[in-house]
Structure 1
Amino acid sequence: MRESPARRLLRVFEAFSAHHPELNLTEISQRCGLPISTTHRLVGELLRWGALERGPGGYRIGLRLWEVATLAPRGLGLRDVAWPFLEDLYLATRENVLLAVRDGTEIVFVERLSGPGAITVLTTLGRRRSLHASSAGLTLLAHAPCEVQEAVLASPLRRYTAKTIADPVRLRRTLAEIRHNGFAVCDGHMKLDAVSVAAPIEDGSGAVTAALSVVVSASTDHRRLVPAVVTAARGVSRALGAPHGKRGRRQGLAG
């Protein structure tokens, strides 16, 4: 079957990544598997529309594409409602405060606040990560439908550090604990020098649709962060119309 023009344009976008944010024409052609002449034409069209822009070393994603992406209803409405709570949590901790949603079997970060003294995190807005390797991801996975949980449990679990949960049996048990406790803690799962705490955010139907997390240095006593993170997440939930007093639905897999 012949590839559609739209699919070819999408392949150009797929050539870019967090590790390759800027590419020249030859690199784009090689990474998306298209002839250089076709790549030149597609890049020109995207450049004129604003989806790509010129950088010092080639081409990069343009602001026009970011403007369109901000219209995504899940991210836009959620960020607007959650912002005051994220800001309060940041002012109280001066640490990395993150807001994330689940897309299939991956986590996508849609907002982040970070101070100059906060530990460096491997997260940027729009960045996708595995669900099993962060507190926010584990929180979303713990409250995901059974079929999503089973898909993750059956897939290869990437080990980011020696502490990453890469055993399906242990992961299943951890998800049950998160549902029971109402929050998740990851100590060195993504970076050995970082620990994160996350809590679920519910929408008006009581379903967990997002997660709020704080990432701090591993030397920090993360236990003191749990009440603040849980309280902030419940505040966002109430603002979204979650049932009053709801403390997280124990849905999905049994422990």
Structure 2
Amino acid sequence: MAGGLVDKVFTVIKVLSEAPDGMPLAEIAELSQMPKSATHRLLGELIRLQLVRQAGNGGSYFLSMGLLSIAFQHLARIGVVDASMPILERLANSTGELVRLGIVDSNRQVWVAKAQGARSGLIYDPQMGDVAHLSCMASGHAWLAYIDQDAAMRLVGAQGLESPGKFGPNAPKTYQELLDRLERVRQLGYAIAVDSSAPGMSAIAAPIFHPINGSVVGTVSVGGPTSRLDEEKLHKIAPEVIAASDELSQFCAASPYLMSANPYLAE
């Protein structure tokens, strides 16, 4: 299969992943920047492979459960989620907030598991599978602080450093400001973000280190409303977060997937 066709397949899959209510052919073609006829043929192949379904003749297209099944089977087989859940749940119960596990996947960080500790009030509960915005999130800082800093800034530049109104008021606005925060992460051993990713939201994250090569393979984070997680509270729970990250680091030895992880090096 030619590289161009692979790109088109994943473009269509990504477009449909953002349309839980389905999407008509014309809109898929427009968003994918492909001719309608080519889009129709590609969708037909994805339906044959049971990765996409169509609601009746001429109806909207949806991602099928087949794609989810592949993803869930993969997660189950690499053992990351099942083995990490007791650690995440324990931290969620002790902090009373949302705990998430992020795994480094090449040049991005993806959340693959979570445990909810909040039982009342404002409950922060984002969906799994999202990619961390590295410049403004504690999880992003906990990873970026431990890779080559030029490479880190290239990753940030690829995502966009700062967009007025998109993130919180305390999001870094310059590369130097971000570099200063990453230096602070290295001093503390963890990252905090108060009103940075979004107004009124705060988080703390600690890196999960590969037990042999020392690279960061993921992060564990605690997040919630700033009204409950102000800066003082974040520093107070830091020892618990670091303990969880240390435990998850030890678990890496039982996961061939994580043990095969290499330090991210950008050319």
User: Smaller-chain TM-score range?
Assistant: 0.7 to 0.9
Moved more, 209-218 or 37-46: 37-46
SS at match of 2:246: helix
What does 1:145-224 correspond to in 2, within 5 Å? 145-152=148-155, 156-159=160-163, 160-205=167-212, 206-220=214-228, 221-224=233-236
1:73-112, aligned counterparts within 5 Å?
76-112=78-114
CA distance in 2 between partners of 1:201 and 1:190 (Å): 21
1:17-56 correspondence to structure 2 within 5 Å: 17-18=17-18, 20-21=19-20, 22-54=22-54
The alignment partner of 2:172 has SS state of coil
So what's the TM-score if we normalise by structure 2? 0.78
CA offsets per residue over residues 158-182 of structure 1, 9 Å max, x none? 2412211121111111111101111
1:6 equivalent in structure 2: 6
Counterpart contact for 2:103–2:218, Cα < 8 Å? yes
- Gapped runs of 5+ residues in structure 1? 243-250
Do structure 1's residue 239 and structure 2's residue 247 form an aligned pair? no
Q: Percent identity?
A: 24
Instruction: State whether structure 2 residue 134 is matched by structure 1 residue 138.
Output: no
1:190 aligned counterpart, secondary structure: coil
C-alpha change, 1:102 and 1:158, in structure 2 (3 Å) is: farther
Q: Deviations over 1:15-59 (max 9, x none)?
A: 2354x4432211111111222222222212212322123469832
Instruction: Name the residue aligned to 1:245.
Output: none
**How far apart are the structure 1 equivalents of 2:122 and 2:145?**
26
1:214 Cα shift? 0.7
What is the letter of the counterpart of residue 170 of structure 1?
Answer: E
Question: How has the CA–CA distance of structure 1 residues 121 and 30 changed in structure 2, closer, same or farther, with 3 Å as cutoff?
Answer: farther
Structure 2 unaligned blocks of 5 or more: 255-262
Distance 2:150 2:8 in 1: 31
Higher mean C-alpha displacement, 37-46 vs 74-83 = 74-83
Instruction: After TM superposition, give the deviation of residue 82 of structure 1 in Å.
Output: 1.8
Give how far 1:231 is off: 1.1
Amino acid in the other structure paired with 2:15: A
Residue in 1 that maps onto 2:260? none
Please tell me whether residue 225 in structure 1 is matched to residue 233 in structure 2.
no
Measured in 2, the distance between the counterparts of 1:180 and 1:241 equals: 26
CA spacing shift, 1:55–1:143, aligned 2, 3 Å: farther
Instruction: Report if the CA contact (8 A) 2:104-2:216 is conserved.
Output: no
User: 1:214·1:229 contact (CA, 8 Å) conserved in 2?
Assistant: yes
Instruction: Please report the RMSD computed on the Cα atoms of aligned residues, expressed in angstroms.
Output: 3.0
Q: Matched residue of 2:183: which SS?
A: helix
CA distance in 2, matches of 1:180, 1:10: 40
* 2:109 and 2:218 in contact (8 A); partners too: no
Q: Is the 8 A contact 1:198 1:214 kept in 2?
A: yes
Q: Letter of the 2:162 partner, please give it.
A: R
Rounded Cα–Cα distance in structure 2 between residues aligned with 1:105 and 1:29: 28
Q: Shift in Å at residue 85 of structure 1?
A: 0.5
Task: Answer whether contact 2:132 2:139 (CA < 8 A) is retained.
Answer: no
TM-score normalized by the length of structure 1:
0.82
| 1:140 and 1:211 in contact (8 A); partners too | yes
